[in-house]
């Protein structure tokens, strides 16, 4: 059962999928129609899931499930990922790869590999103040608290890319 994203409670489970690039209007419509059709029928162990979706910046698909009534099962989550993987093929754009780092610059949202982001951090092209997208969030509350689009210093990015270097002796 699909509901509006803004009705999801703070403890709702969250998944964030980042397209490799901003989607064009037609691609956005196709994505949302496909996701809506999936969510309308999404079930866990035969029970409908109360789920919602939202597309942000034409690039980030957010999916949430209110697990108060029925929790998402491993099989139901796998079904969602399979559905999005099939859509990837149809749209010709990557959606389910969560390894790239996405961050904001003056020229827009950038997407690079983790090694490339590490190199940019080493060269101080990105800093702990760089706004990153923390697509590892698992609860709507974290999104509501501003922990998704945040300075790297407030995300896992700080530990991974800006950790203090050991002192050589």
pLDDT tens-digit readout, 147-169:
999 999 999 999 999 977 555 65
Distance separating alpha carbons of residues 86 and 2, to the nearest angstrom: 20
pLDDT at res. 166: 57
What mean pLDDT comes out for the span 135-151? Answer: 97
* Pair 121, 151 in one domain: yes
What are 87-131's pLDDT values in tens digits?
A: 999 999 999 999 999 999 999 999 999 999 999 999 999 999 999
Q: In terms of residue numbers, what domain contains 117?
A: 101-135+147-161
For CA atoms 115, 96, 32, 25, the dihedral sign is positive
* Pair 38, 57 in one domain: yes
pLDDT at res. 45: 87
* Confidence (pTM): 0.92
Asked if residue 122 lies in contact with residue 99, where contact means CB atoms within 8 angstroms, the answer is: no
Is residue 118 assigned to a domain? yes
Is residue 58 assigned to a domain? yes
Number of domains, the chain: 2
- pLDDT tier at 71 (50, 70, 90 boundaries)? confident
Whether pLDDT at 141 is above 80 = yes
What are 19-62's pLDDT values in tens digits?
A: 999 999 999 999 999 999 999 999 888 888 999 999 999 999 99
Distance separating alpha carbons of residues 7 and 15, to the nearest angstrom: 16
* Pair 86, 106 in one domain: no
pLDDT at res. 20: 95
Is residue 166 assigned to a domain? no
Distances in Å between the Cα of 19 and the Cα atoms of 9, 69, 115, 127, 159 are: 25, 30, 19, 23, 24
């Amino acid at each position: 059962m699909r509901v509006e994203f803004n009705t999801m409670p703070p403890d709702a489970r969250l998944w964030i999928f980042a397209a490799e690039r901003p989607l064009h209007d037609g691609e956005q419509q196709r994505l949302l129609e496909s996701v809506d059709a999936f969510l309308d029928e999404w079930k866990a162990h035969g029970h409908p899931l109360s789920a919602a979706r939202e597309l942000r910046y034409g690039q980030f698909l957010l999916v949430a499930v209110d697990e108060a009534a029925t929790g998402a099962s491993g099989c139901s989550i796998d079904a969602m990922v399979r559905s999005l993987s099939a859509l990837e093929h149809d749209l010709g754009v990557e959606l389910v790869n969560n390894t790239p780092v996405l961050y904001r610059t003056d020229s827009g949202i950038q997407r690079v590999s983790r090694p490339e982001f590490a190199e940019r951090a080493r060269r101080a092209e990105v800093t702990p103040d760089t706004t990153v997208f923390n697509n590892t969030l698992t609860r709507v509350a974290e999104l509501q608290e501003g922990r998704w689009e945040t300075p790297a210093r407030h995300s896992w990015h700080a530990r991974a890319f800006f950790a203090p270097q050991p002192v050589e002796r």
